[in-house]
Structure 1
């Protein structure tokens, strides 16, 4: 107190100190204003001996106004005014302001994402140099992060005042006398008022107050207040969820009416029955607004002479006071007035204190943007050729006004785009790509409710319809998929086209790319395959229908022509029957006309009134399961420059009713044979056989010539002739010689062709062909076995394996060793030509291995069980740990023809049949299949089953092995879901690869003495445990691999062991309920021990859901975590975005795995019990979240 008093002499009441300035100020008079949620301002007049004070000596200087009564005001000088100068002194006025006033000198437009209101305010304050002791949040609520908070043409002061007012946070100022600075206190409840401020209520006597601190002259104002506040909003993310909230805060105010606020911006309605609704919910905003209304229902004004009164205090007047003052007064505005020659005058405004509600600053409305703002679509990849969308089809954009640097694709929140039409499963969406200019509009002009109104062309993306082609209407995608409609009169056309294969539908006036006419009418074209498919029937006609008049399926002309020809054919059939010629099947044609063509029932009908031509640059084929009928009212001409062949499985008939049947050969011989029956020539009139050279008759047994009853018979060792009348011989000379014979010329006939016999009714083979069957089945029988048999009964079995990879998590890192030998083998194989390993090739003495493609997804297979008779090497994709291979007993070379173990070949699929099935993706029947399963001890075992006819197990997928000349091997690559070959076969071992060593983990052996094949019982309950499990559909992962005809390699049956992570499954487990204040994925948890468990709230959401693979499951886990703010609150913005996209977040540096070839930086989901040891793939209680460093330690260091 002595030091304080030393600042003031006997006359001085007020002292003004300006830091870092030579100016000595003598306070003349002042006025001050302090209010809640406003920066304070003090206008101080002073005199000084300095006649001309430079502004830089005062402005932006810290200063303090001290009063004898004990009040100090610390602030920043923001204004200096010269008033006058006399001979002795100069007169000035300056403004002492809160440091927050300086925020009013910065005006900008800015975007804040995924931050709460307090976080945004703190960021703005720190940008202006305010640190920890300069402001303090004393908040009772936790405020959620908002997707978007926008500052639009506001000063930083206006901006923070606005966003704080929206959520009801008020602020006041405290003076730090130690540092000589003002401190901003931000609060949201009554708990942060300043209590225990008591002053006597004492009316002064005249103008004399006795110099005692007191308050006096109370005045009150009371108003009617709104009784209820109701809010409603719409959230498109939960479009059908009610968003209504109604709140009425209890108070002593007189209330009436209701205030309905629509589109108050909130995400959830909240519980409007709770006195403490969820922060920033609809009920929260309704309560805040009602508290504002109630705060205006009563106002109080007082005078005082006490300098230490300040906003935010609860003043408790003592003495005989009116009712309005008994609970205290919350000071909201305090003004001060004083002078060198007068006492301090204090004017106080406030509202009655109550515990039912808190003071809320007046709501400052958001700035409005009535129009649109320019922006550009933004992707994570620069110049991305595809649209960057989220699961709801929303876009990221970059606003043109936003100057802050952000990662690509994170400059703004996900935005919806307005479209011409939208529906539950319908609508219009042409995706926008990176760099496209868009106009951002705002719902009701609200700066925090943006959406994409439309896309615009600009100088970098010019419009494709201009004055040069103004008659066109064009819809075109970035990949040049196009719908073009031309409106130029006389040249109207429509073009629907895609760049792939130049597939187009053109109609009307067709033009080329230069706009030159190329035809009229309609055109459907493609450089790729073309298909016209109509399930009920297809009618193709060249009959005219002018101006598109008439029935679309009007086919009377075609049907009349077919009916007329059918009637003519019936007449020919009658004639053929009389002539005992082979009858045509006219009935089937009539039946087809009545049942198929006339109603157009699953039939194709083509017609042209003036002619039809079919032409092919190479081959043309007509095929029908039943009949092919060719009818003509005139002639049928078939002319070929090569060979003309007519093949018939049964009979071939030629009948000419009234004309000549001519069979002639211009140069070559005519060969007529009846290979297994007789040959008959008959003529009603004259039969002539003539030759310009020789005629030779030869019969192996005899020749008999008969004419008019007389005959001549020639046979072995005998010539006989006879007649009933005379025998005349007219010769010049007759000679006799010794006996002689001339043998007949031997004629060699080929054996009859072997054809698979089909049941004509079912059109299926009489004997079902199979790939493999048991050798115990007799010839001609391809039924499934009914008893337990060894695999040797079916063929030669071999099992291959490759090094074990980490099957825990499916991403992160694996063993990082260079597979140099694999590369060497593959390069060696490229240098050598293929040499087919046939059935007679010797079995290798050592285990064999094969390189796959030189990439990370390939591996080497090593023989670990059985014998193998082919010379070559087998390879499989990395995700396939085991491959079993079997060659049917049909192809075992050691069993020759005549062996009881070799059934007839007609029981098995022909190789060409298998090749055709592989081309179409069809399955081939077999009587045995194999699969992998772990036994009770966790060991991998092979099991075989008999596959009966008609069961879902008998069909095996077929696949063609295609020769890859670059890698010098055969490859099978599935059509979908593979990054490279699934199976490869190199016909010979590369040099030096008899027994290649493997880097990485060891190969798991197959400890199985024999492989048995068992029947599948009707009731599966009989087989519930090994050794004979019943396979599920997912267990059977097998193929019949078919090689080209010239390879010399017979088809091979293979069955693969799947990666368990790719097998669909259902999520199980309860997770763990989190506790404690430590962050959920703190390094102390995830970088040591077993890692962090799956939280119970995540397990509750996912339990029971089904997933196609562990990759899908892992992505869903992170997605669900992103929906729980309590789990993501400690993450950075970038990591939050990754989690929302289903990606693992980045880990701090101390948790990263730094290997010799790579650095892994993201969290991994680890299986505590490995999958290979029976650990549940989708069991959330078996999962832990770990850092890459801990993951590596668990698998490879412990």
Structure 2
């Protein structure tokens, strides 16, 4: 053997085409063999076995340390051995596993696993994390930054704009699994390259063919013992074809725009070219999109976007290409062109470009590098998508607290749809007050179009958050809970009470304790406005009454548009109709019968009869409330008392007061009766007494005659004074044909019989006269008015307002005949009259009345 051969063999024994360097470890490694796997949207994984003279390498020396694995060429000649070898491929990553395999006196065999730094993210596990108002790329970038990746260590080459989602939740996932799931859901793939300056890995994200790497070419050449002249090639090519799904349709529901149907068109990304070999319609109802999107160019995360994305995933499995190579520079995301011989021997599947999706590298000191690759045909209009990863399902509920933008507010923030924001107890990230979650719907037992069941939640209230179909990104408030800070208002102390109470202390309380059942509906406004029913108690639960009570320190209004019936009649167990009023109707009929009878008596006595007709109309209206009226009835009496004034009035018809026995009117001061028409008093069965126990009694007919008649004696006496009878024209006394007439200053006596003059003396003197001042009768001025239209038709039920010259304002409503009330003034004057918007002025004099 020559010296040259001896030197070459010696050099070959010490030279190694593979090197491994672990930063800051002091480890000198001699690579024995390795296995490597790289994939599109996968972490690369290299298992490297090496020997070292160090018998005890500590885990701290290598674990989590940066490491570089290099594949180089070996020299073919002795002279070449003296030259630096060429580096073909460099893999940089982090040591994630370390093993000691065996050892001897001279060397020890070790093994490490080399992965990208991103692999460490699988060690960061979070049971819960909540991202609000961020897009998928935003979330991925945030997590990478939190783990210390610099901006240049990741690159987003995205063609689409991804919307900010209301909320994205990480649930029972590592950071790595979380971002891998998010990226796969929207069809973003990733791969790694080496940064040439720092010689460290860079992660690339893409959603379109433009993010892939092109211009990689290899010739086909099977190494069957023939020399390949040192040129890399491919061989052992295989292809597999599968029937895949023909089209995809997806649908979702967006409660914010419930009127829109989010049902995509069927997506066929072969555009009909796969009809002969593909089969099956796929329908997804996935809660993940809020808009429909255009059929041909949909925006990201819309219904049509997801349908197209899903079909691209299926088509990625239709054709699979496999092969072998010696080229160490192959890596995922490369588009490979295989150059054929002439004449061509490759099938059609290999004549087109191939997108590399998986690669396996093997090599050792003794065996040269071999690369096995898997790929899919590359298409300009069809993009490879990573497989969809399962989304975790939330079981049960999560605890949260209702929040608001202002900490001091009692009531929680709500949007225009009534949604709330909450802060999850599991959330440890700092977020702005009131922005801790997406707007969350509140589940209710009943709801509809602007109606339903909704008690506004109070800030700080504990709520249980459930999730639609267990989807962590679709939370809703299932129910509210009490806790030690927000105690329950029903406890062992009042366990028989069913209570609804709001933060403003509005309350509905239903007591079920036997023998003390009651209902209380109350508000603090108006000094405790309350409706109490049943066994009513005070704050100390002492009985304060039984039955029903409506009370307030403010005003109470009882209004019934069709009528009001207030009764003290017993109705056991509420078995009768609500407005059953048989007893009250009988009382009405009895009173009306009495009124009719007394009206006939008045006619017989030639006095003014009562207005029976209006009372008949009243009875007809009140009977079963056939017209809007109010009826009060009590079998044992009704009392109306007031410390101040009390009024009974009728606007246009009569006021009837009837009693089957006495009608007693007592007053501590004056008793005044004033009528615009006549006053008629009739005592039909017994006598009438008019007595002034003290003071003057005056009886006047101020503008007409006064007639006093009696069937029997008339007795006029003055117990302690005189009786004066005066007439301005003539005074006549007559009885049995005899008379005395005083007229014109003369006295005329006459009789059919004798005139007897009895007395001690009869004295005749000269002429004399006695003058008594005549009584001055007061006079008033007044009139009434009838409102008519242009055709002269009376206008009933029309509001009016009359202002007198004295400044008095009189208001009312015209009666059924269009008449106003009678207007009286102390002197003739003009009146301002307003009917609705019409104003008029008219004089009122002594004889005015019946004006129109």
TM bucket by the smaller chain? 0.7 to 0.9
- Where 1:409 maps in the other structure, the secondary structure is coil
Q: Which residue of 2 aligns with 1:326?
A: 351
* Aligned partners of 1:36 and 1:311 also within 8 Å: yes
- Of residues 241, 265, 284, the one that matches 2:305 is 284
1:514-556 alpha-carbon deviations (Å, 9 max, x no partner): 3222333333333322222222223322222322223333323
Distance 2:768 2:832 in 1: 55
Per-residue deviation at 1:368? Answer: 0.5
Distance 1:759 1:174 in 2: 100
Counterpart check, 1:556 vs 2:582: yes
Measured on the aligned residues, the alpha-carbon RMSD in Å equals: 3.2
Q: Which residue of 2 aligns with 1:254?
A: 277
1:1052-1085 alpha-carbon deviations (Å, 9 max, x no partner): xxxxxxxxxxxxxxxxxxxxxxxxxxxxxxxxxx
Per-residue deviation at 1:163? Answer: 0.5
Per-residue deviation at 1:741? Answer: 5.5
- Where 1:126 maps in the other structure, the secondary structure is helix
Per-residue deviation at 1:89? Answer: 4.9
Distance 1:326 1:560 in 2: 108
Unaligned runs of 5+ in 2: 1-11, 73-86, 789-793, 806-826, 842-852
Q: Which residue of 1 aligns with 2:740?
A: 711
Counterpart check, 1:123 vs 2:142: yes
The residue correspondences of 1:57-206 to structure 2 (distance < 5 A) are: 57-68=61-72, 69-83=87-101, 86-108=104-126, 109-206=128-225
Counterparts in 2 of 1:767 and 1:303: CA distance versus 1, 3 Å: closer
Q: Which residue of 2 aligns with 1:940?
A: none
Q: Which residue of 1 aligns with 2:693?
A: 666
Per-residue deviation at 1:208? Answer: 7.3
Q: Which residue of 2 aligns with 1:238?
A: 257
Higher alpha-carbon deviation: 233-242 or 176-185: 233-242
Per-residue deviation at 1:20? Answer: 4.4
* Aligned partners of 2:717 and 2:723 also within 8 Å: no
Distance 1:196 1:406 in 2: 47
- Where 2:369 maps in the other structure, the secondary structure is strand
* Aligned partners of 1:771 and 1:924 also within 8 Å: no
* Aligned partners of 1:457 and 1:463 also within 8 Å: yes
- Where 1:225 maps in the other structure, the secondary structure is coil
Q: Which residue of 1 aligns with 2:293?
A: 270
Distance 1:57 1:525 in 2: 84
Q: Which residue of 1 aligns with 2:238?
A: 219
Counterparts in 2 of 1:64 and 1:720: CA distance versus 1, 3 Å: same
Q: Which residue of 2 aligns with 1:912?
A: none
Counterpart check, 1:406 vs 2:424: no
Distance 1:114 1:693 in 2: 107
Distance 1:127 1:756 in 2: 93
Distance 2:64 2:286 in 1: 43
Distance 2:414 2:706 in 1: 79
Per-residue deviation at 1:699? Answer: 5.0
- Of residues 18, 21, 27, the one that matches 1:17 is 21
- Of residues 30, 34, 59, the one that matches 2:34 is 30
Per-residue deviation at 1:50? Answer: 4.7
Distance 1:369 1:310 in 2: 38
Higher alpha-carbon deviation: 726-735 or 686-695: 726-735
Counterpart check, 1:448 vs 2:507: no
Counterpart check, 1:428 vs 2:457: no
1:393-444 alpha-carbon deviations (Å, 9 max, x no partner): 2222221111222223221111222211223354222222212221111111
Counterparts in 2 of 1:759 and 1:653: CA distance versus 1, 3 Å: farther
The residue correspondences of 1:1114-1133 to structure 2 (distance < 5 A) are: none
- Of residues 396, 418, 421, the one that matches 1:396 is 421
Distance 2:13 2:775 in 1: 150
- Of residues 697, 707, 717, the one that matches 1:680 is 707
Per-residue deviation at 1:37? Answer: 1.2
Counterparts in 2 of 1:330 and 1:337: CA distance versus 1, 3 Å: same
Unaligned runs of 5+ in 1: 1-7, 773-897, 910-922, 928-947, 950-1198
Distance 2:30 2:730 in 1: 157
Higher alpha-carbon deviation: 301-310 or 729-738: 729-738
Counterparts in 2 of 1:764 and 1:348: CA distance versus 1, 3 Å: closer
- Of residues 485, 490, 507, the one that matches 1:482 is 507
Distance 1:589 1:908 in 2: 31
* Aligned partners of 2:414 and 2:420 also within 8 Å: yes
Counterparts in 2 of 1:641 and 1:762: CA distance versus 1, 3 Å: farther
Counterparts in 2 of 1:543 and 1:733: CA distance versus 1, 3 Å: same
Distance 1:349 1:480 in 2: 71
Q: Which residue of 2 aligns with 1:1137?
A: none
TM-score relative to the length of structure 1: 0.61
- Of residues 20, 39, 43, the one that matches 1:39 is 43
- Of residues 666, 669, 678, the one that matches 1:642 is 669
* Aligned partners of 2:49 and 2:109 also within 8 Å: yes
* Aligned partners of 1:771 and 1:926 also within 8 Å: no
Counterparts in 2 of 1:770 and 1:634: CA distance versus 1, 3 Å: closer
Per-residue deviation at 1:371? Answer: 1.2
Per-residue deviation at 1:204? Answer: 1.4
- Where 1:133 maps in the other structure, the secondary structure is helix
- Where 2:368 maps in the other structure, the secondary structure is strand
- Where 1:570 maps in the other structure, the secondary structure is helix
Higher alpha-carbon deviation: 40-49 or 296-305: 40-49
Counterpart check, 1:471 vs 2:489: no
Q: Which residue of 2 aligns with 1:460?
A: 485
- Where 2:423 maps in the other structure, the secondary structure is strand
Per-residue deviation at 1:168? Answer: 0.6
Which structure: larger Rg?
Answer: 2
Counterpart check, 1:605 vs 2:631: yes
1:360-392 alpha-carbon deviations (Å, 9 max, x no partner): 111111110021111122222335333532222
Higher alpha-carbon deviation: 720-729 or 149-158: 720-729
Per-residue deviation at 1:72? Answer: 1.4
Higher alpha-carbon deviation: 99-108 or 40-49: 40-49
- Where 2:535 maps in the other structure, the secondary structure is strand
Higher alpha-carbon deviation: 688-697 or 86-95: 86-95
- Where 2:88 maps in the other structure, the secondary structure is coil
Q: Which residue of 1 aligns with 2:815?
A: none
Per-residue deviation at 1:188? Answer: 0.9
The residue correspondences of 1:471-510 to structure 2 (distance < 5 A) are: 471-501=496-526, 502-510=528-536
* Aligned partners of 1:770 and 1:925 also within 8 Å: no
Per-residue deviation at 1:485? Answer: 2.6
Counterpart check, 1:576 vs 2:602: yes
The residue correspondences of 1:830-841 to structure 2 (distance < 5 A) are: none
Per-residue deviation at 1:322? Answer: 3.0
Q: Which residue of 1 aligns with 2:565?
A: 539
- Where 2:831 maps in the other structure, the secondary structure is helix
* Aligned partners of 2:162 and 2:301 also within 8 Å: yes
Counterparts in 2 of 1:666 and 1:33: CA distance versus 1, 3 Å: same
Counterparts in 2 of 1:607 and 1:217: CA distance versus 1, 3 Å: same
Counterparts in 2 of 1:585 and 1:340: CA distance versus 1, 3 Å: same
Counterparts in 2 of 1:434 and 1:513: CA distance versus 1, 3 Å: same
* Aligned partners of 1:769 and 1:925 also within 8 Å: no
TM-score relative to the length of structure 2: 0.84
Counterparts in 2 of 1:589 and 1:76: CA distance versus 1, 3 Å: same
Distance 1:271 1:629 in 2: 80
- Where 1:568 maps in the other structure, the secondary structure is helix
Distance 2:663 2:365 in 1: 130
- Where 2:488 maps in the other structure, the secondary structure is coil
- Where 2:187 maps in the other structure, the secondary structure is coil
Per-residue deviation at 1:211? Answer: 4.0
* Aligned partners of 2:47 and 2:114 also within 8 Å: yes
1:963-1001 alpha-carbon deviations (Å, 9 max, x no partner): xxxxxxxxxxxxxxxxxxxxxxxxxxxxxxxxxxxxxxx
Counterpart check, 1:515 vs 2:541: yes
Q: Which residue of 1 aligns with 2:813?
A: none
Distance 2:100 2:722 in 1: 146
Per-residue deviation at 1:318? Answer: 1.9
Per-residue deviation at 1:698? Answer: 7.1
